[in-house]
Structure 1
Amino acid sequence: MVTMTEVAHSAGVSVSTVSHVINGTRLVAPATREKVQRAMLLLGYQHRPIARSLSAGSNQTIGLALTAASNPYWVELVQGIDGEATRAGLNLIIVDTRDDARHESTAVANMLAHHIEGLVIAPSDGWRDLTLPLLRDHPVPYVIVDRIDPELRADQVGVENEASTAAVIDHLISAGHRRIGMVAGISGLSTSAERLRGYRLAHQHADLVIDPALIVDGASTSEGGRRATLALLELPVPPTAVFAGNNDMTIGVLGALKAAGIRVPRDMAFAAFDDFAWADLFSPGLTTVAQPSAAIGARAVQLLLRRMTDREAPPQTIRLPAEIMHRESCGCTPVSV
């Protein structure tokens, strides 16, 4: 079966250009259109609409594998990916990995069986043992999004986690806090590890020794954030500030603090990774690290299109900067500790 990637190679153009010629989604120069059409004829390429191609093998579809898209961060990321794919004339299949390596590998295998042109994946913990071998056994281009693996030679795009976390923790330290609780995400994820490194880095720069009891596993979930906060509050010397490693844990942390009658920021300063569209509507407004989610998604598709066109191109790892949203929850006045 001839794919758009093969047509692109033969015509000497990008995959997106081939898609635009096939689907009429953008004007293409007559000479370029002729080259694409000649390559299609030479290779015997046959265009099939997506409705008929899922069972027979798609030649204009990319896949997206990531955890539940109900999280606001993932919703915006998917919008960025879908928007860029649409601009390139490509269809998008989305599967929920449930952040489980076994489920992820099964879902990816099913997409590969449908002959997708490429894959964007936010890998789960343990994906190296199950999903990565599948991708290495199939000649399908893929791009890792969000959860960057520095040891893997592959196209990857995500946010700058370490420096942005360090900046927020430094802000809390400069406000006088010396015991800052860290509600960390799933330990096997690179994003969790990078944010934890940022937390440690800020303390190192301030010559502060970290009490290990202040770092608590929040499992990247609301319930995990709630349990982690309760554990912090039960310490002999509780923290005066808390940092949540993602927006799901933020909900759990704030719920636990409210249930305990602790006022933010008067009794406890608070900051978090991941912004909400309604974060400034909280009382107090939440100080957060805002990721350029849609831009990360769009950039991932751009990298994928490049890889689909040129399999020999050197892999790229792209880190987009985050933005610190300073609001009231961090309590910017010095405190006595």
Structure 2
Amino acid sequence: MATMVDVARRAGVSVATVSHVLNETRPVRPDTRKAVLDAIEDLGYIPNTLARSLVTARTRSIGLAVSAISNPYFTEILQGVESSALEQGYGLLIADPHDDPEHERKVVRLLHERRVDGVIVAPSAEPAGLLEYLARRKIPAVFLDRLVGDAHDQVCAENSRPVEQLVRHLAGLGHIRIGLVAGLPGLSTTTERIAGYRAGLERYGLPFRPGLLAEGHSEARGAEDAVHRLLASPEPPTAIVTANNAMTIGALRALRTAGLSVPDDLALVCFDDFSWADVFSPGLTAISQPSREVGATAVRLLLDRLENPGRPPRTVRLPCAFVHRTSCGCVAETPGRPLDQPLDQPLDQPLGQPLDQPLPGTPGRPGKDPVS
């Protein structure tokens, strides 16, 4: 097995110069650096990362704590984190906190004990213990997807405006009883998506009806129960917005159990597009989040924090895209239109209908109550 001495001899430099190239502890002339890297490649030399960490006080590793196993959305974020970290020469240690505050603190502590240079965390609904642990030990950290105030580096997709757009789209099709299956209470994503739901109703002059807002707890089973509750209410919704991909699956199960067809009996739109959403019949009208870019941005924020520990914290919000298919009850358009671009009139209002006026009910299909 080749050693640093072998590399130095092949490159015609000192062992100290090889060390500076590997550890980036001192500037090295480009031609000398190239000679060292060529020698490493020729000899198949594998640096001792443990020894390097003793020199640099860094392990070039990042800890990632997200519920990747229980939430498919985080799987895509994980891919963005991993590819960006590897591109920068960092390894990744992954732990699943299961959205449980106690387990969250435990897995972050274990990552810290393995001397990661910093952590990226999708925090739980009760992150106080985690925040205290990170602050007490001065661990560089970035939060993703869920926000925890403005005192930390964090990155997430837009939440309120995309849900508002889904509601306005449904209202523009004549629905005035629009339900929302919301996520786990306490999460910033849940709070912001509920705010978007209410803003969409207000924009169309529709009243907020507490009975049309049901908690799905961010999981399929919870959403299934929530939809059954909505359907059993005295004035059930004629359209439903689901606030994440797992809850969309639960909602579809509940509608199938109830013998209802989408969109003939009830329109359904969802926050979170996913890889098989266009395979369903009908295809699901959805908000697509920039999942991989969220992960990649989290890595960039963390590495910048490691290089500039004194800089002010930053919150980055990334735009989503409206993916128009047919579960909303209308003809699909070209998918993937960014939400920050002007939308065609049918998505905001029907022709000739003032945007600031409540919509009248539209006639129902045979055997159905009118949309009201």
Deviation at 1:49, TM superposition (A): 3.0
Q: Is 1:236–2:215 an aligned residue pair?
A: no
Q: Is 1:158–2:169 an aligned residue pair?
A: no
Which residue does the alignment assign to 2:80?
80
5+ long unaligned stretches in structure 1? 1-19, 35-46
Q: Deviations over 1:54-99 (max 9, x none)?
A: xxx9712110011133533111100000000000100100100000
Which residue does the alignment assign to 1:212?
210
Give the TM-score of the pair, scaled to structure 1.
0.83
Which residue does the alignment assign to 2:172?
174
Which residue does the alignment assign to 1:22?
22
5+ long unaligned stretches in structure 2? 1-19, 35-46, 332-349, 351-361, 364-370
Which residue does the alignment assign to 2:126?
126
Q: Which is higher, the Rg of structure 1 or of structure 2?
A: 2
Does structure 2 retain, via aligned residues, the 8 Å contact 1:50–1:58?
no
Q: Choose from 314, 317, 332 the match for 2:315.
A: 317
Which residue does the alignment assign to 1:102?
102
SS state at 1:68 partner? coil
Name the structure with the higher helix share. 1
Q: Is 1:135–2:134 an aligned residue pair?
A: yes
For the residues of structure 2 that align with 1:210 and 1:197, how far apart are their CA atoms?
Answer: 11
Deviation at 1:32, TM superposition (A): 11
Q: Deviations over 1:136-177 (max 9, x none)?
A: 01122110101022x231111010000111011110011110
How well do the aligned residues superpose, as a CA RMSD in angstroms? 2.5
SS state at 1:168 partner? helix
Q: Deviations over 1:120-151 (max 9, x none)?
A: 000001112x11101001122110101022x2
Q: Deviations over 1:274-312 (max 9, x none)?
A: 111111110000011100100110011000000000001
SS state at 1:198 partner? helix
For the residues of structure 2 that align with 1:127 and 1:171, how far apart are their CA atoms?
Answer: 35
Amino acid in structure 2 at the alignment position of 1:325: V
Deviation at 1:207, TM superposition (A): 1.5
Does structure 1 retain, via aligned residues, the 8 Å contact 2:23–2:52?
no
- Taking CA–CA contacts closer than 8 Å with sequence separation of 6 or more, which of the two structures ends up with the larger relative contact order? 1
Which residue does the alignment assign to 1:284?
282
Does structure 1 retain, via aligned residues, the 8 Å contact 2:68–2:75?
no
SS state at 1:135 partner? helix
For the residues of structure 2 that align with 1:155 and 1:167, how far apart are their CA atoms?
Answer: 28
Number of matched residues? 299
Deviation at 1:31, TM superposition (A): 8.7
SS state at 2:180 partner? strand
For the residues of structure 2 that align with 1:235 and 1:324, how far apart are their CA atoms?
Answer: 30
Deviation at 1:211, TM superposition (A): 1.2
Q: How does 1:219-230 map to 2 (within 5 A)?
A: 219-230=217-228
Give the TM-score of the pair, scaled to structure 2.
0.76
For the residues of structure 2 that align with 1:320 and 1:114, how far apart are their CA atoms?
Answer: 31
For the residues of structure 1 that align with 2:170 and 2:23, how far apart are their CA atoms?
Answer: 52
* Structure 1 residues 60 and 268, CA gap change in structure 2 (3 angstroms): same
For the residues of structure 1 that align with 2:268 and 2:250, how far apart are their CA atoms?
Answer: 12
For the residues of structure 1 that align with 2:264 and 2:32, how far apart are their CA atoms?
Answer: 64
Amino acid in structure 2 at the alignment position of 1:59: T
Amino acid in structure 1 at the alignment position of 2:120: V
Q: Is 1:62–2:58 an aligned residue pair?
A: no
For the residues of structure 2 that align with 1:111 and 1:222, how far apart are their CA atoms?
Answer: 29
Amino acid in structure 2 at the alignment position of 1:101: P
Q: How does 1:236-315 map to 2 (within 5 A)?
A: 236-315=234-313
Amino acid in structure 1 at the alignment position of 2:91: N
Amino acid in structure 2 at the alignment position of 1:278: W
Task: Percent identity, please.
Answer: 45
